[in-house]
Each structure stands twice: as C-alpha cells, then as structure tokens.
Structure 1
Amino acid sequence: MRLTAPKPPVTIRGMSAYGNILSDGLEDGALEDTRSFRGMDGRDSSLSMVSDYTLSYGLEALDNDKLVKNDDGRFVPAFVALDRKVLRFHVWFRDPRAAVGFKIRQATLFHYLEDGSTRVSEKRVENSGIVTGEVACRHRAPKPGSGGEFYSVEDFDVGVEVVIFGRTYSIIDMDDFTREFYELNGIARGEPLPMPSDYVEPSTTAGPPKTIHSYPDVVFQSQGVSDRFLNLDRKVLRFYCSWNDDRAYGEETYYVLHYFLVDDTAEVLEVHHRNDGRDPWTSLLKRRPLLKGLPRQVIETEEDRKKNPQPRWHWTELTVGKVIQLYNRDFLIRDCDQFTRDWMDKHGLPQTEAVLPEPPALLEFKRKIPNYLGFGSREDSFQTVLNPIMPKVNKKDFIKAMANSGKIMRFKAKIVSTIPEDEGRLFIISFFLADDELSVYELPTRNTFSGLRADGSKFLEKKKVLHPDSKQSSIPRYYSLNDLQTWQVGSRVVINSFQFEIIGTDDYTSNLLSGEHQQIDMSKRLILSQIKSEMRKIAIQQKDQFEYVDRRDDGVISADELDATLKSVGIRVSEAEIHELISLFDLDGDGALNFEEFNKMLEQI
C-alpha cells in the first residue's frame, strides 16, 4: 500500500521545546516500512506497513495537524507536544442591552493549540452590577458562512473581528507568549490597539433627574443618573429618639431612627436593655418612606400617586430637639451621631446639643427585719430573713476556736443597784475568747441571804450576750473582744439590763488589755498552742522542757534547734514562721531564746 502525503501550505512551528507542528520531512512519495516477522505457521513473512502514527490516528492524520515530530525525528502526539500551550488575545465586544457608559465590555479569547478549541471569558469587574464570567465555553468555534471550517491560529490577528455565535469580538492585543509564538513561526501580527471609550459627556442643559417609576419601598431613577447611588450608598443618618407612652402603665421607651440618603427611606429600631421585661422585637418600623400621618386607606394607581403624593419626612426636617409624628406616635429626637452632625453642618443645618433624659428616681430598698419572737437564737431568726427559702447555718470560726481554746478573760465586778439587798454582791464576769460568750458567777458573801446560796451561784449561764447598742439596730450585735478591751477598772457595763462596775481583773486579762498580745495573730497562736501541748507531753517542769529543746546545752534555743524539735514531735511549720516566733519573744535581740524568754512564750497561750 502506498500513501501520498501532500505538503501543507503553511508550516507552523511552536517553541523550541516541541519542534515541528506539521511535518516538513515528508516528501512526495511512498511512506513504506517493510518488516519481516514469523507468522503463526512458522514461516517468515514480509508485510508493507504504514508508519506508526497512521495506526493511531488513521490515514487522515497525514492531512491534519496531529502529525508532530520531535527534534530526533520521532513522532509525538499533539496532545503531548502542545499540552498547555494556549494563545491569549485581548478582545472587546459591545452589549446593546446595557446602559450608556456600560456598553463596551472587555473579555479574553483563549485558543488551545492542543485541539484547536476556543474559549471566551469576560473580565470580572468588582462591584459593577454586571454578571460576568464565561461568555463562550471551550469548543471548536465554527467560522460563520465557511461551510464547516473552524477557527485556527491563522485567523487571529490584532484588528481582526472574530464572530462566535453571532457576537463580534474585536482583537486589540495579545500576550507575550502569543506574540513570540507567531514570531518563531514567521507570521507577522499587528501592533496593539487602544480600548475604545464608551464614556458619554453629561448634558449641561438637561433638567433634574426624572423619576420614571415609584413604589412605596423602592424609587427607580432614570438610567442616565447613577451618581446618587454611587455618592450616597451606605450613607445613613442616625437619630436617637424617645416616645413617652402616657397611657396607663406606660413609660418612656427609646428608639434609633436610621435615615437612608440613597432612597430617602427610614427605619425605626427599638433599644432594649437587660431585664427590661419587653418582647424582643428589634424593629418598630421597617424600612420605608417616613409618611406624615397614617397611610391612605384607599386604592391608588401609579398616576394617582404622581398627581397627589402623600407628604413625607425629609432629612432636612429632622433636627435634634424636634418632635415628629410617626403613625400617631410623637417621637422626640434627643441626639444624633457624629456623622449626622457633620452632614448637617455641611449642608447648613447645625444641630443643637443633645436633649438628655431625666435620670430615673432611685428607690432605695430597705429590708425590713421583723422583731425577734423568742423562738430559737437570734442568728437563726435573722437567717430566715436573709434566706427565707433555704436558711443557712451560721458559720463558726474554727481557727479562732482552736487558737483561743482555754483562753478566758476574767473581770471582778459589783452590781450597781438602788436595792439595799444588792449592796455588797460581788461577781466574776468571764469572757471566753474562743466563741465570744459570757458567763457571770456570783461570789459567796458572808452573812447575806436574799434567796441566794451562801456558797455562791451562777448568775448567768455561758452564752452570747447582746450589746446594749443592739436594741437600736434590727441586726443582733453581741459583746466581742473589741468591746471588752475598753473595760477598765471603774468602767460600768450592762449585761441583760443589769449594770455592773468593774473593780478588778486577773493577770492574764490585764496583760491582754495592756496590748502585749496584740502582736500575735491567730496563726501564731495556733502554733504556740500546739507547742505548749506537745511540751506538756514531754515534761511537766518548764526547766525540763527547756533542756529537751536545747540540744546543744548552751543555755539558749536557736532556730535550728526549735525547728528540729517541732519536726520530731510532728508540728509542721515553715522556716519563716520559726524566725517570726523567735523574733516576737527575743527580748535581748541575740537571735535565740533563753530560759526566761522560752517560759514567756509558753505563758502566752
């Protein structure tokens, strides 16, 4: 079989990377490859075979652009040699349906060398309001009136008009790759052309913008006036208003009025506060023109609205301090934001100062505490007032109870009375520092008998005693250590309506009132009470206790010796607390405790 390969009229060469597109090496004559092979019957046979590319693409491959050879002369398919090789042209087309100033639209024409297909994509313009994207999908574009021929690389040039499906695209430029592709193949292409202008000079003799359609919500303007949207879009005047509801159970509520300058519409939003008890309606009036009065309850045509429009509020009529009526509600404009003030000042409408609302009257809530009825303790009764649903138990200070366990202040007193039989009666008033309770014990007095035991008796059981000032307050107040620190010899105190005069104190109470114990806080007292308790377990005599702690037998107790002793008996204290204890009772300032200082430390508990 002999095949004749006609030589193509134009040879297109691509970049040096993929060599010839059409074969220049084919000459007129036969393309024959005779090969010998062994058949199925075992005999040698010879067969005249056509070149390999005809077996893949058929005999018609000799007449199209799929015949490609590389630099070595070997056959390479077009989809491999021309893969991702695309010619790009900058074009424009005219849209007759678009408005004036938007009729010329830019696009990009792509021609794929791999299969000769063409695609047109319009350039995206941000915020143009025009739908852009793919104008013509990738396909082999037929030439109009050519009888089935398609566009190829020879048909595209600067200044050429390409018609695809009835739309004419004018080529004005191409990219660098496309221009270099044509130069390598010896095809000249034209110079770039400028983009035609679609700008229309506005007429100075034209009248004001003419409204061609109007509806309650939207106002359409003529196509020739687009400056209002571009200049006033997203410009909103904000006014802060209030409406005083004078009906029964009414109150003053606050709103925000937004006036949209782009179409002269407005909306009214309600301002909500936390726990205001109102329904969560965010909008009182949807965006619409602000009508003066109620909307007409008649059916109107477009012509009726043009002839007799209903009056509306304009932004020039909205000023701070003015009352406007919207749907039979009187709104007081109290203030506006800074943008609104600047806008009004720019247009010669300065705004006054804000009309501040009167501050609401603050009603001071006073809890009324009922009188004590005698059931239970006063603390429990007071808790039922604070927490009537779930009363809480009074908390006790356990640290105070442990630190002051066994500490009692004792005062010797006599009763102050006008009754002759009470003369000469003596009492011991004991105050327990652990729980702030008082007890009164009457001392035995010779040659007295007024219904009392001759050997003394309890005058008052141990309990908390109300302070005399507690009668002036509904909250119970009891005697505390701060009150007893003011008791001196000669002072008169009142306990359960009985008046006593202090005539003496014991040594512990006198030392406490003199202020020697004020430097020791509760935490230190708790540590000292633990030390004293452990020392009693070690020895009875204070001398033996001192010798047990003084491990070096040098007559003083250092911080290291005290720390080691406390750890041995199970008392965990920090090094800083040990130094603080020694500094409290180190009278001579040698940094250690001698026998007298050690005894004084234990006597403080």
Structure 2
Amino acid sequence: VLSFDAYFEEEVPDKNQELYRIRHCKIYFYLEDDTIQVIEPLVKNSGIPQGTIVRRHRIPLPPPHEDQFYTIDHFNINTEVIFYARRYKIIDCDQFTKNFLRKMGVRLNTPASRPDDPYTKERQKVLDSMNPLRPYERIDTLKQFLEHDGQVLRFFCVWDDPESMFHDPRELVLHYYLSDDTIDIKEILPVNSGRDAVPLFLRRDKLPKYAPTGLYQPGTITSRTVLNVLGNLVGNKGRYILDNRKTGAVHQEFYKDSDLKIGAVINVWGRKIMLCDCDQFTKEYYRTKYGIEDFTPVPYKAPPPTKPEKTFPPYTGFGSEEDSLCSCMGLLLKPPQKDFKKFMEKDRNGMESNILRFVAKFITDSPIDKDRKFIISYFLSDDTISVFEHIQQNTGILGGKFLERGRIKKPGQELFKSEPSEYFKAQDLFVGARICFHGHNFLLVDADEYTFNYMEKHANEFSMANIGVILKKLKDIAEPRSREIRQVFAAADPEHSKVIEYDPFRNLIVSITDEAFSEHEIITLGRYYGVRDEYEMDLHFLLAVAQEQLKKNSFENFEQLSAVLIYNDREKCGVLPGEVCRTICKSFKLPLADDNLQALLTMCEDDHKQVEYKKFVDGLNWRQNPIPAFQTIKVPLKNEDDRSGQPPSLPVKGIKYLPLLDDLFGEEE
C-alpha cells in the first residue's frame, strides 16, 4: 500500500470568521487492484464529520477521460489529483512509497510545505490566552505505573550500627520501585546471629532525604492546596478554590533513582546506609538511562573464616568402616548410602550378567595347594568379590565356596585409622595380575569370554584391554628396532602364510618388551589381530536352539513381531536391513543371545544383504513350525592342564602379524 500526505481546500460561505478551510488527509493506493482510499485524521472538536472521505474503490479520471482509471503513474509528490471534482494536493509520502516509486523509475519531486488552517490557528491563540477560573491540577501517575510496573532496582547495602554492642556491620538489601518511586529495605540475617527476624527493615514508602524533620500537623502535607473556603450555599454544598501557586505548602524532597549509585551514602531516617553493589538489571538500567559504565562494587563483607577441617576418630573395629563413619556424621544414625544408580545400571539384565569371572591359582610352593583352581567373580553392581574353588576328585580338598561375597580391602593398610580404606576395583583384576585376598595370594591365569568382551567394550575404563593404549606402548618400545622385529616375525612364519600361532606370538611379544606387558595385554593383541575359529552352523540347528530357548521363556508374540516388521517395510518388498530387524527384536525382548540372534539374521539374508523377515519369524515360531528334538553338540572343553601354564588357550587359530606390524611401523615399502 502506497501512502501519500495530501490536503484540499474547502470553501466556507456561511461564516465571517473563515472564508476557506484546509483539511489534511491521507491517500492510500492499493497496488493489488489499483484501488484508492482517502481518509481524514480526526481532529478534536472540529465540528465536522471526519474519517473516510472516499471509500476504497477504483476512481475514474476527470473528464474528458472518465472512461479510464487512476494508476500508479498518476501519483507523485507535489502534484495534484482530482477525485470527483475535488482537487487534492499531494505534499509528501512515506519512506516505503518513495523507495517503491524510485524502483519503478519515477523521479520524485521536492516535497511541498504543509499549509496551516487559518481558523485553527486563530482558535488555538484564543485557547492559549485563556486561563481557567478554577485551575485544576492534574496529578497523573498512571503512565509511570504502566511503563515501569514490575521493574525494581536492587542495591546491596551495609549499615554500620554505632549503637550495637560489637559494632558489627549489618547487611541490607534496598529495593527501589520504578512504578511509584517507593523504597523498602530488608535485612539479611546470618545464621545464628541472635537477632530477631523481622519481615522488613523499612516498609515500602517514599523515602525523604532530610529525615527526621519533626512532626507536621494533620493536613499540612497534602497533594493540593486550598486557597479559600466559602460558606455553605444552597443544599449545604461547600465551594473551594485551588491555589495553583501552592502558597505555604510544605515541599519535601524524596530519593529518586538518580540519587542512588554505588558508593553513595543515603539517609534512612537518621541511619547512614552505604550502597555497595547492585544486580545486573540495575546496572543495565543505569547504563541505558544515565550512561554510567563504572559499577565497581565497594567491598563490605569480611573474608569468611576458614572452615575448620572435620576430623573423624579412627575405626573402632565394630561393623564396617562406612557404618562406623555414619555415626560420626550426625546425631541421628543412618545406614551408609548405597550407589543405587550404579546398582540399577550394572545389575543383571537379561543376557548381561555384569559379572567378571577369572580363573586363578595359588602363588605358593606347597605341592598340595599348587594345583588348586579358583573362580574369582567380580560383581560390577556393588564392587563385591566372591571366590569358589573348583572341585577336584581325590585331592582331599572339599572345594566349593572359598570366600563369601563382599568387598575386599587391599593389603598393607592400617586397620584402625581415620581415612577410608581402599578396596579392590574392577581395574585391579586382569589376566596376569597378582592379588592378595585376606592373606591368600592369587595369580589370575584366565578369564571367560564375557569378561574379555566387556573389558574390550569398555576400553576407556580398562587400560589392559584398550588396544589403542597397548599399541602406543608397544610402539614406544619397539619402534627403534622396527627392521629387526619385522625379520623376527618373518622368521617365525617359514611358510609365508602371514599367520603365526599364539604361543610363538606370545613369546615374541615377551622377548620384544622384556616382560613389560601383562598377560592380559598380550591376549588383547592376540584377540584383535587373531583369526578366530569359524564354526559352520547349520540353520536347522540354530533354529532348533532358538526355539528351545523361546519355549523355555514362554515367548509367543510372533504375530505382533511380524506386524511390526511389516509396518517398518515401507516398500512392502519383504526384506529389511539387518540392523532394523535386530533393533525390533531387542524391543520385543527376544530371549536370545546376541551372537545367536546375529547368526540367525545373517543366515536369513538374501543376495543384497537384506533380511527376509517372514522366513526369520516363521523359523522362530515354535507353535506353528516346531523343529523336532535334536541332540546337543558337545564342544570339547579346554584342557585343565593348560590352565596351569602361563599362556592361556584362546579360540583363535593364529595371529595375523602383518596388520600389527603395519599399525606399529607403517606399511613397508
């Protein structure tokens, strides 16, 4: 919409005071349909109808072109247009209209001056020269309230009370309300100060600068001053005249926002209070209104006294250390807090046991105890350890539970001390570690597959299973002898198969590092670069195992599982990515191990590595497609004699040493 400022002259034939009248108006041109609207702004007490002069529509040109209509080309500054025989003088337009006309290629004329209406000027002179017989004093605080309601300036103050016994400074908070220029003050009472807690130090009101000044008679301080009082007239109605000069009025000065600043001392009814600091809103207000930039606070708080270090008595020997320590923390005895979050995260959940199991043996020269085997279980949910002894026949040793589940202290610590004891953590247990449980020395010689997988999955917590840390450590040791080490590995592979057995590989790593590597670090290297045994699994056998597991757990939601898989198949092609199928199976809490589930999904893939989910679900459905009973295939167990040796057995055929050498020394040219 283009907006033009215009005016037109209107003759006034019936009045002697004025011969013509100038009426200002707005002309709006709507670009969407070339319609025009003329509106006259309302003038107070004009006595003539104002508002819309010409309603919005297309206006024809004056004769003899009345068959055509006004367009954008007919408008410019300092030109005249005729609407229905009335001549409008365009004097100016807004900025948007100017920019638009310039883009249209219109050269704008110089804006014309805006003439004044002679009768309006004469009338304004008469109004300015008139004084009211009864001057009315308008006291309007609504504007200030509407603009500043809810805006409060906050200052942090201090009052050094000279009458107090110890002359201690008292901290105050001053609130200045911008809506009505009132002030209230609250006192900040420190803990155990001994003072009475009162709601307000000073209630909200305007604060005079020069107080106290004595008491005034009632009616002395008023908002208006009465000049004279006449007697009662008809109807017992009194009459009065206001004194616009306020003769004899008492003028009081109150604190304004301009009087408050950091470092200023104000008088609060005879008490000298210093403003020391303010909040962020107050700083922004003074920065915007008064241009103040320096808000350096005045130090008023004494440095806090040093908090005495809490000392605890030594452990008495009764109960656990944590339980005895809780009796020193408060008067009400409470049991020690347990890490419930850790318990919920690391407790047994489905196939995740969160238990690290190690095979251990005694470190002793006794021929009786030398061959004893132990299973050490570390429970990640509460950092407890239990030890079971492997039952061996004809040894004279009973076997079974060797150590009750509980937290175990590290050896070499004083029993009766104030500091908490250190306990064995999961990071202290790894293959090759030597540990002492209550005077019994153990050597960890092996671990189960779950332990190795868990430690490698959480490599940031277990440095012994962190392949990046191990490679960096090995590189720092072996890099100066890179050529010699390559020749040693090549000599260990006379058939040039690029694979060596684990035992020669372990012996080479031990000789290269001069036994600086633990057994667990060597196992991690072997597992990372090893060639694992690949068992050719029959799909029929896998489905039989899966159906047996589903039947034991009473899983029968095959229709819902199939419906969700079909819903995720947007293209209705009968196949889905393996990761999507695995996620859906996990959401149904399918009671299958991760490796078994992955093997089933892999065997149900087509040529494009997409899982045929209907074949997968039909194979698992033990209700409709039961597979006959099968004989369990027994996998040969590890030889017990191998446990006593240092290198543990691994499910790998050999070690691919070339990728290891390339990661250590770079690819050989």
| TM-score (ref. length: structure 1) | 0.39
| TM-score (ref. length: structure 2) | 0.36
- Relative CO higher for 1 or 2, CA cutoff 8 Å, sep ≥ 6? 2
Whose Rg is larger? Answer: 1
More helix by share: 2
